[in-house]
């Protein structure tokens, strides 16, 4: 992937940082997108193996469309291209599905604005620059919650279903210059998930045919595979879930 430039939103997060590392290990120049985690993003960009162009941390607040337009202009000015965009930024909070009153409008708006509008707005801001390469890739990090409707809350699950649907529309709209794919993880062994209730985690493992959770690196390698080998794939939802929905 030498000469390719990849932007990862939420790039300093648990899964996002693994995606940045795997893309850089495969030779891409990585732009680590962050919202609040500026120090983690800058230190990650500094640690990645060197490529012909410098890795860098970029502020990518996905709910701020004006900032995203400025970001696209800055990436164009500094790098002249964007080959890969990974929409990994996402937000949620645990609310039991039966507790409807606890899922208030503010949380609903935050989840939809970040996960759904934010993913679309980032593609909208960057698609003109991405089209220039003639062979670009958008990966939306979805979740099996989109199909199982089991996840941190009702609206999080719905937001991921919306992302998968959007993947198909955008794949059609942006072809042939830009491919658009969802990578749909099951539960991933991030630091956050490691701190969750052990009995609940054990139950998730027991219900997963492959009898473990995914590592962040396994999600990242799916992104790299889409960029390198799975080049005739677009508009697809790729589950990386150990078979959890059939468990
Ligand atoms: N962990 C799992 O088991 C799992 C399973 C399936 C899908 N996923 C999905 O995988 C993605 C990454 O999750 P994760 O587990 O790695 O969580 P995480 O560590 O919390 O990462 C999420 C990242 O999103 C960024 N973010 C949040 N709001 C943002 C905004 N408005 N603008 C820009 N960035 C924003 C945060 O950036 P800052 O830190 O810079 O503020 C954060 O680093 C999410 O889309 C999540 O839904 C996770």
Instruction: Judge contact between 72 and 132, C-beta under 8 A.
Output: no
C-alpha of residue 14 to centroid of ligand 1, in Å: 7
Taking the C-alpha atoms of residue 6 and residue 135, their distance in angstroms, rounded to an integer, is: 13
**Of 7, 10, 113, which is best to mutate to test ligand 1, by the most ligand atoms within 8 angstroms of its C-beta?**
10
Domain ranges for the chain, please list them.
5-246
Taking the C-alpha atoms of residue 148 and residue 116, their distance in angstroms, rounded to an integer, is: 18
Residue 2 tokens read as 């030498």
The residue with greater pLDDT, 130 or 197, is 130
Residue 35 tokens read as 């919202």
Check whether 36 has a pLDDT greater than 90.
yes
Question: What is the tens place of the pLDDT at every residue in 126-178?
Answer: 999 999 999 999 999 999 999 999 999 999 999 999 999 999 999 999 999 99
Is position 156 annotated as part of the catalytic site?
yes
Could you tell me how many residues make up the chain?
247
Superfamily of domain 5-246: NAD(P)-binding Rossmann-like Domain (3.40.50.720)
């Amino acid at each position: 992937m030498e000469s390719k430039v990849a932007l990862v939103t939420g790039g300093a997060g648990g899964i996002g940082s693994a995606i940045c590392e795997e893309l850089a290990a495969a030779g891409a120049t990585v732009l680590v997108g962050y919202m609040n985690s500026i120090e983690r993003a800058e230190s990650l960009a500094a640690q990645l193996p060197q490529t012909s162009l410098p890795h860098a941390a970029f502020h990518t607040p996905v709910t701020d469309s004006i900032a995203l337009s400025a970001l696209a202009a800055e990436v164009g000015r500094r790098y002249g291209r964007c080959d890969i965009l990974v929409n990994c930024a996402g937000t949620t909070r645990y609310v039991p599905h039966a507790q409807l009153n606890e899922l208030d409008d503010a949380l609903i708006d935050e989840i939809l604005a970040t996960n759904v509008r934010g993913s679309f707005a980032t593609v909208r801001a960057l698609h003109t620059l991405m089209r220039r390469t003639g062979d670009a890739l958008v990966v939306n990090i979805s979740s099996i919650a989109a199909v199982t409707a089991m996840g941190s809350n009702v609206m999080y699950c719905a937001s991921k279903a919306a992302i998968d649907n959007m993947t198909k529309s955008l794949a059609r709209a942006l072809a042939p210059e830009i491919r658009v794919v969802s990578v749909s993880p099951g539960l991933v062994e991030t630091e956050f998930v490691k701190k969750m209730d052990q009995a609940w985690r054990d139950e998730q493992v027991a219900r997963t045919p492959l009898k473990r959770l995914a590592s962040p690196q396994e999600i990242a390698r799916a992104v790299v595979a889409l960029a390198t080998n799975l080049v005739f794939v677009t508009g697809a939802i790729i589950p990386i879930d150990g078979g959890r929905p059939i468990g």
